[in-house]
Every structure is written in structure tokens, then in C-alpha cells.
Structure 1
Amino acid sequence: MPATKRKKKTNAPSTESARTTEELEMEIFILETKKAIQQAYQQGVEDGMKRFFYPPVLTKKDLMEIMQIELSTVTKVVAHPTFPKLSPVQASYPRDEVFAWIKRNTSLKSWMSLTNLMLNA
């Protein structure tokens, strides 16, 4: 009977299994990236729906809801010289400019300054 050579077993992973591991890691990365993109897209849709849910011209009632403040505070906020207003119509505020104003004034320092102005008014 002829002698057969046996392959020696090693603990090191074969090239084939290492490649498979890399492929699995890449697949996981792709799936996680797709999930993150989907979540970001969904959040963008929700943010857009909230913003454009309101009519192009806002009322004080809309501002109360958007800013989650009382009417007396809305009155003080809209009295601020930089707050956007529609001149010909009293108590009417352009939606897109209001949201831009809110974005510009959402830092803690801006709100503290605005709060001090309102308290002193």
C-alpha cells in the first residue's frame, strides 16, 4: 500500500475563510450604511413635513405652536426688531423667514439675549 501524505492542520485561517470574513464585514458595513441613510432620509422628510405643514403666512397662534410658548411671550418675541413681519398685514409673519430667524437665533447666547430683551420690555 502506497504511503499517502497527510496535510498538516494549522490554526491559521485559510485565505478563503479570511476573504469570506472580509466580505461579511463589508456586507455588514453596507447594510449599516443603508440603514443610516434611510433614517436620515426619514428624519428629513419628517422635518420638511413639520416645516411646510404651516401656511406661508403665520399667525400668532401658529407661532405659539411652533415655538411652544404662551401668547404673551409670542407678543414679546414678535416685537423684537429683527423678527420677520409682513408690513401691510398686522400680526402676519412669513413662514420661511420665521423658520430662518428661529434657526439664526437658537444658540443659547442668542436666546439669553432675546430673553433679557423681553424681560426688560
Structure 2
Amino acid sequence: MSSVIKVEIDIDQLRQVIQEEVTKAVDKVTKQHQLPPMLTRKQLMELFNISQTKTSELLNRADFPVFREAGVLIPTHLLFRWIEKHTRWVEENTSFFEKTAM
């Protein structure tokens, strides 16, 4: 027994969806390249729009990328990798995605 599914796609709507996703991806990459290679605690707070308490909680997580040999510095490329792996935490505890959607 074979099944056939027929799908109709509006090309203009598909193009619009693709364009929106490409724009989001370009914005994300652009934002990453505008940041310094290492963020300070204050820059992290501003980027995530979080309080000192929430920042301390984040910096004390075992899985959070922190370079402590020169003070408290966060490698930007590792931060964005961490965000991708921990999107739920970022959505629930920061306004990071609200700012990037603008």
C-alpha cells in the first residue's frame, strides 16, 4: 500500500519565509562580529539585559564559558555556542531574544 501526499506551496509566501529567516541569520552573524572577542561582566549584563544577581547565577554555572585567569571574561564565540545549546534558559531568564528580534 503506497501513500501519496500532495502539497501546494505558494511561491511568494515561501520566498517571504526564506527571506525572513535569511535576514535573521545575517543579523545574528552581524551582531556576533560587532562584539569584542571577550566580554566583561558588565557587557554580559547589558547584552542579556539582566541584573547582577542573574549574572552571578549565570557565571557560576559549571557549563557557562568563563575565562577567569584574567578576571571574569566571557569568550564571545563560546557564549553564542552556549546560547544555542541553552536557548530555553536564555528565553526564560533574559530579554536577549527580544532585543535581537528588533
TM-score computed with the length of structure 2 as normaliser: 0.65
Give 1:14's aligned residue.
Answer: none
AA of the residue aligned to 1:51 = Q
Give 3-state SS (helix, strand or coil) of 1:58's partner.
strand
**Structure 2: where are the runs of 5+ without partners?**
1-7, 94-102
Match of 1:85 among 66, 69, 73: 66
Question: 2 CA distance for matches of 1:30 and 1:76?
Answer: 47
**Structure 1: where are the runs of 5+ without partners?**
1-25, 113-121
Checking the alignment, whether the CA contact within 8 Å between 1:86 and 1:92 is kept in structure 2 is yes
The number of residue pairs the alignment matches comes to: 84
Shift in Å, 1:36:
2.0
Give 1:55's aligned residue.
Answer: 36
Whichever of the two has the greater Rg, that structure is 1
AA of the residue aligned to 2:51 = E
Match of 1:32 among 4, 7, 13: 13
Give 2:79's aligned residue.
Answer: 98
Bigger relative contact order (CA 8 A; separation at least 6)? 2
Question: 2 CA distance for matches of 1:43 and 1:93?
Answer: 24
Alignment root-mean-square deviation, CA:
2.5
Query: What is the percent sequence identity of the aligned residues?
Result: 26
Checking the alignment, whether the CA contact within 8 Å between 1:54 and 1:62 is kept in structure 2 is no
AA of the residue aligned to 1:29 = D
TM-score computed with the length of structure 1 as normaliser: 0.56
AA of the residue aligned to 2:76 = R
